[in-house]
Structure 1
Amino acid sequence: MSERELREQISEYGKSLFNRGYGVGTSGNISVRLPDGMLITPTNCSLGKIDPERISKVSLNGSLLEGDKPSKEAFLHLAMYGARERDDAVVHLHSTYSVALSCLQDVDPENVIPPLTAYFVMKVGRVFRAPYYPPGDAQLGNAVGKIASQYRAVLLANHGPLFSGSTLDSAVAGIEEMEETAKLVLLLKNEKASSLTPEQCQDLLERSSS
């Protein structure tokens, strides 16, 4: 896709996510990798009102090349790209159920969302919960960069989900699946729910890759 087409795609997905309740106010950001950097939604920009022409173009070292001032969380996207060479899109949201789950105590940080459904296993996989840092704190980027090669899905403690995909289509699909599974986790919190076994998860991964 051309850069213009990618800008349009970011805008369309932003509006779709916002209109369906995955984002509120000016929270969340979307990026796509370019050969010389990335396109990312500007700071203080509602996902529902992204002007394609004003999307920020940022170099691989974080310098603004053109467009509006980039999201203050651009470093999170760069950390994911630095560790995941095959992924070309990253989505970060403050979606309600994922944020709620990110605030819970006594969860396994290396597998914070259990494999409740087949589509979660195939589209998301294991989810790592990164420790809390204030928004915009560079230490959060370091924490994400250390584990991003093993996890395409990260839940930022007391903050929200971060997901990378090979395309923007797959990144959006993955973070939506992550949000819906977080909702299931909370709905089933006081019930005797059955997760898929490691053997069932492995079978699904083999089927999805064949």
Structure 2
Amino acid sequence: MSTIPEATVDAARVGRRVVELGLSPGASGNLSVRAEGVTYMSPTGVSLSALDPEQLAVMSAEGVQLSGPRASKEYPLHEAMYAKDPEARAVIHLHSAQAMAASCLRPASERSALPPVTPYLVMRVGRVPSVAYAPPGSKELGEELASVEGLFHGALLANHGLIVSGRDLAQALDRAVEVEEACRLYVQLFDAPARWLTEDDVAVLTQRYGTPW
């Protein structure tokens, strides 16, 4: 009897949790995790709540599908995110409501789509740049993400939602939740005379927690 890889069990568990948190309406969203020299990815058209550890797409390091059902069309986007964050071993992309709303607004700055609205966004994620719109699942979308300069662990895709990376799926999920909450606050405070963290505040946090801004 073959052993089910722990990474695929984690993928199914995190997929269910994403849906429980209300971050993945319908069959939207996708996730991937790297382990044992391959990338396991959620299949196309399958709700994250219904992921089967034994029915994930298995992709080679060269991007060739080795086994399993057809991978999500957002595989090129995930690959671009892994390339942006060399320490990443997991990526989650969601169409969550607050991230979708924030991704339709003008970015807070050239560096980040979201302002330093809370210390927790800065501590746990860092800057969240805006990625220019390209059709979902297209090679161009991955190229747009790749063209954003500098390191980041999360981004907003214009009119499309969020993407985050992590050293594992647990950290990626924590970051997705943090980005979603920051998006909720940004949407509520948009164009209000809000007070964000200062540059000095951000510098203290990024130096302490090693996050990019």
Q: Calculate the TM-score normalised by the size of structure 1.
A: 0.93
Which residue is 1:93 aligned to? 94
Matched, 1:28 2:29: yes
Q: Which residue of the partner structure matches residue 155 of structure 2?
A: 154
Partner of 2:57: 56
Amino acid at match of 1:137: S
1:2-50 deviation per Cα after TM superposition (whole angstroms, max 9, x unaligned): 9611111111111011012000111101111124231110000101111
CA change 1:106–1:69 in 2 (3 A) is closer
RMSD: 1.7
C-alpha distance in 1, partners of 2:110/2:8? 34
Where does residue 16 of structure 1 map in the other structure? 17
Q: Percent identity?
A: 36
Q: CA deviation at 1:72?
A: 0.3
| Contact 2:121–2:178 (Cα < 8 Å) also in 1 | yes
Return the letter of the residue paired with 1:203: V
For 1:191, what is the secondary structure of its paired residue?
Answer: coil
Q: Which runs of 5+ in 1 are unaligned?
A: none
Consecutive unaligned residues of structure 2, counting only runs of 5 or more, are: none
Show CA shifts across 1:160-190 (max 9, x none).
Answer: 1011111211111011100001001111225
- Give runs of aligned pairs for residues 119-134 of structure 1, distance below 5 A: 119-134=120-135
- The residue number in structure 1 matching 2:83 is 82
> What is the match of residue 108 of structure 1?
109
* Residue 189 of structure 1: aligned partner: 190
Aligned residue identity for 2:120: Y
My pick for the range that moved more, 3-12 or 168-177, is 3-12
> Structure 1: which 4+ aligned runs deviate by more than 6 Å?
none
Cα deviation, 1:79-104, whole Å, max 9, x if unaligned, reads 12223221111110000011111112
In 2 relative to 1, CA 18–178 (structure 1 residues): closer, same or farther, beyond 3 Å?
same
Cα gap change, 1:132 to 1:110, in 2 (>3 Å) = same
- Counterpart Cα distance in 2 of 1:140 and 1:30: 16
